[in-house]
Structure formats: structure tokens, C-alpha cells
Amino acid sequence: MRTFTLEQIAQVTGGLLSKEKDVAITKIAPPALADETTLALALGEDEIANLSTTKAQAALVPLGVNIDGFTTIEVERPRLAMMKLITMFYEEPHVNSGIHPTAVVHPTAKIAENVSLGPNVVVAENAEIGEGTKILANCYIGNGAKIGTKCFFHAGVNIGDRVKVGNDVILHHGVSLGADGFSFVTENPNNIEQAKKDGEIKENDVNQVIFKIPSIGSVIIGNNVEIGANTAIDRGTIEDTIIGDNTKIDDLVMIGHNCRVGKGCMIVSQVGIAGSCVIGDRVVIAGQAGLADHLKIGNDSIIAAQAGVSKSFPEKSIVIGSPAMPRKEFIKQLKVMKDASELVAKFKKYEPLLKTFEEGHSEE
């Protein structure tokens, strides 16, 4: 069990310690779940209120919160301090030392020093794995794939042929990098092409052979990228699909072939990005948003949750709705709808008078 002094925690979090008594901290928890050796995390109003009944003797609180008779560590940025605190207590999943006896490594693969390969890991022909990388059970590293240094792959990760992964990359359970893109063509124009060109579907009951377009590009993942469980990033058709340095991707995200995602982006769960999109740097795409193909989203933009993006937007855009539009325009439309509902209500109120007036004039 890890144990820390209040002084150690204050130093790591950069907080201001107001100590009433010495407490050896063995864990962290919300005030309602805390005991005597817990540092209570009271980062919001509800949690601060719960300190009056907590069993904890010390708490991490926002700057300016001081409770008489209670030990506190005040921090300017509570969420940042919480991250540092959790890192102190975090323990990585267990990894075996070296290469597990059940791992299968092709003779032409290059494995650097201090690499850990778990049970049933397969490393294919001409693959390369950098120093200090840890790969847990049942992962597959494809032909010619190159994995950087100090990466951590959780169980069940699949890396396709020729995929390149940078340094300090974390891939969670079930990540798929480098599957073929969803790319097909018919011999003659199909209903999708007609709809895009003419706005209508002219042909009925026309069966055509659908030809697969193979993907000969690959996927390139930058440095310090983290990708959540069961996320899939497809290889490019001809050019590579690229994810920039420091980008963080949540669980269950789909990024299509030929996409280019910039540096420092945040892509939240269940986002779908169709092929050949270009996403700028520091873009935030909130949960369940969907982007049509061949779009460009400028740097420092924010796409709100469940937005249906069907056109490109310039840098520093904040877009919302389906179809997605600039936030100011969306709010303006909401106001128009509200005004319209009030007009309808007024009309219904005076509708009997209008009918009486019309009936009187019709008799004349």
C-alpha cells in the first residue's frame, strides 16, 4: 500500500497546506466515501458541503476554501491537481519481464532492449519495436510495422501491416490501427453518385457489382498519443492516415481512410469521421459528432456533441446542431423558434375574436 505525507502531496500538487494534524494518506476518494486515512477530493460545491460529515481528516480543495479545524490543501486548478494526485497513486497493469514463452516473434523482427511482450503476442515479419515498449496479451503487430519507444499497448490491440506508431503512445484494449478503408466503386454510376449530382435517385432496382478498392496506404500515429478502447483508424487508400502528436482519442471512435488529424486534438467517444477529412490542430470533437467525407476543420475549433457536420468550417469555429452551423447562428435560430411559439400562442388566444370578425364581415 502506498502512503504519502500531506507535505509530499502539497509539493506534488503545488497546493497550499493548512495542517491541523498529521495524517498518513493511503488513498483518495470523494468525501462521502472517505475514511481517516483518505484524502477527500472536494473540488466542487457538493463535495465541499460533504466535508461537514466526512470521516476524512484532510481534503484537497479549490484555492480560497478554508475550513476551521480541518486540514486542507488548496489548489488553483483543482482538476490539474487531481491528475497529479491520481498519478501518485496509479499503478500500471502487471506486465511480465521480457518476452513471454507463448509470444511468437518472427526471426526478421527487431526487438529493442527492455521490451515486454505478453502471452500470445504475435510480432510479424520485419516489424520493429522500440526500447522500453510494453505490449500486453493477445496483441498483433503486423508485417513491417514500426513501434516507437516507451509505448504501452493494453490487451487485444491490433496493428496492421506497415503502420507506424510514435514514442510514448498508449493504446487501450481492442484498438485497431490499419484495417482497410471502407472504399468501393461500381462499374456504372450508382444511386449515391446520382443523388450527389442531381439531388434525386433516377434508377430503380439496378443491381451492380460492387468492387473493393484496396488500401495500399498505411496509418501514422505521432508521439504522446493516447487512443481509447475499441477505436478503429483505417489505413489510407493511397496516402497515409495521420494522427498528430499529443492527440487524445476516446473509446469507440471511427476515423476513416486518408484522414489527417492535427496535433493536440481531443476526440470524444463515438465520434465518426468519414474518409479524407482534414482536422486542424487543437480541435475538440465532442461525443457522437459525425463528419461527412472530404471536410476541413480549422485549427482551434470546437464541434459540439451530436453535431452532424456536412460542410467545412474555418479556424476557431464553434459549431453545433444537425446540420451543424456556427453556434451564434444556432442560438439565433433557437430564438426565432421561441418567438414563433409565442406568436402561435398569441394567435390561438385571439383566434376566436378573428373568427367572430370574419363571420361578421362575411354577412355584410
Instruction: Give me the residue spans of the domains in the chain.
Output: 6-89, 104-325, 328-364
Q: How many helices (H) and strands (E) does the chain have?
A: 5, 37
pLDDT band at 190 (very low <50, low <70, confident <90, very high): confident
Q: Is the pLDDT of residue 59 over 90?
A: yes
Which CATH number among 3.40.1390.10, 3.10.20.30, 3.40.50.1360, 3.10.129.10 corresponds to the domain 6-89?
3.40.1390.10
Q: What is the mean pLDDT of residues 210-214?
A: 91
Output the average pLDDT for the chain: 92
Least reliable range by pLDDT among 7-21, 117-131, 137-151? 7-21
User: What's the mean pLDDT in 67-88?
Assistant: 91
Q: What is the pLDDT of residue 364?
A: 55
Query: Which pLDDT value is given to residue 342?
Result: 76
Which tens digit of pLDDT belongs to each residue from 304-362?
A: 999 999 999 999 999 999 898 888 888 887 787 777 777 777 777 777 877 777 666 66
Q: Which residue has the higher pLDDT, 193 or 57?
A: 57
What's the helix, strand, coil split of the chain in %, to 5? Answer: 20, 25, 55
Architecture of the domain whose range is 104-325:
3 Solenoid (2.160)
- Once rounded to an integer, what is the mean pLDDT over residues 153-157? 97
Q: What is the pTM of this model?
A: 0.84
Q: What are the angstrom distances between the C-alpha of 74 and each of 10, 33, 41, 78, 175? A: 9, 20, 11, 8, 39
Position 136 pLDDT exceeds 80: yes
Indicate whether 363 pLDDT > 60: no
> Cα(348)–Cα(342) distance, rounded to whole angstroms?
10
Nearest partner of 286 among 260, 266, 301, judged by Cα: 266
- Top mean pLDDT of 35-44, 108-117, 186-195, 344-353 is at 108-117
- Mean per-residue pLDDT for 187-200? 76
User: What does the alpha-carbon distance between residue 217 and residue 184 come to, in Å, rounded to a whole number?
Assistant: 15
Of the residues 172, 257, 294, 361, which is catalytic?
257
pLDDT at 302 over 70: yes
Residue partners of 248: CB distance under 8 A and separation at least 6? 225, 226, 265, 266, 267
State yes or no: pLDDT of 1 exceeds 80. no
In tens, the pLDDT along 5-50 reads 999 999 999 999 998 888 899 999 999 999 999 999 999 999 999 9
- Percentage of the chain modeled with pLDDT above 90: 75
Q: Give bridge partners of residue 227 from the DSSP assignment.
A: 171, 249
- What are 233-265's pLDDT values in tens digits? 999 999 999 999 999 999 999 999 999 999 999
Cα 163 to Cα 129: distance, rounded to the nearest angstrom? 12
Distance CA 344, CA 237 (A): 53
Residue 15, judged by CB atoms within 10 A of its CB (0-12, 13-18, 19+), counts as buried
Residue 94 appears among annotated catalytic residues: no
Q: Mean pLDDT across the stretch 56-61?
A: 93
Model confidence band, residue 195 (pLDDT cutoffs 50, 70, 90): confident
pLDDT band at 106 (very low <50, low <70, confident <90, very high): very high
Report how far residue 221's alpha carbon sits from residue 264's, in angstroms, rounded to the nearest whole number: 12
Grid cell listed for 74? 488548496
- By the 10 Å C-beta count (0-12 exposed, 13-18 middle, 19+ buried), 96 is classed as middle
Grid look-up 465532442 returns 286
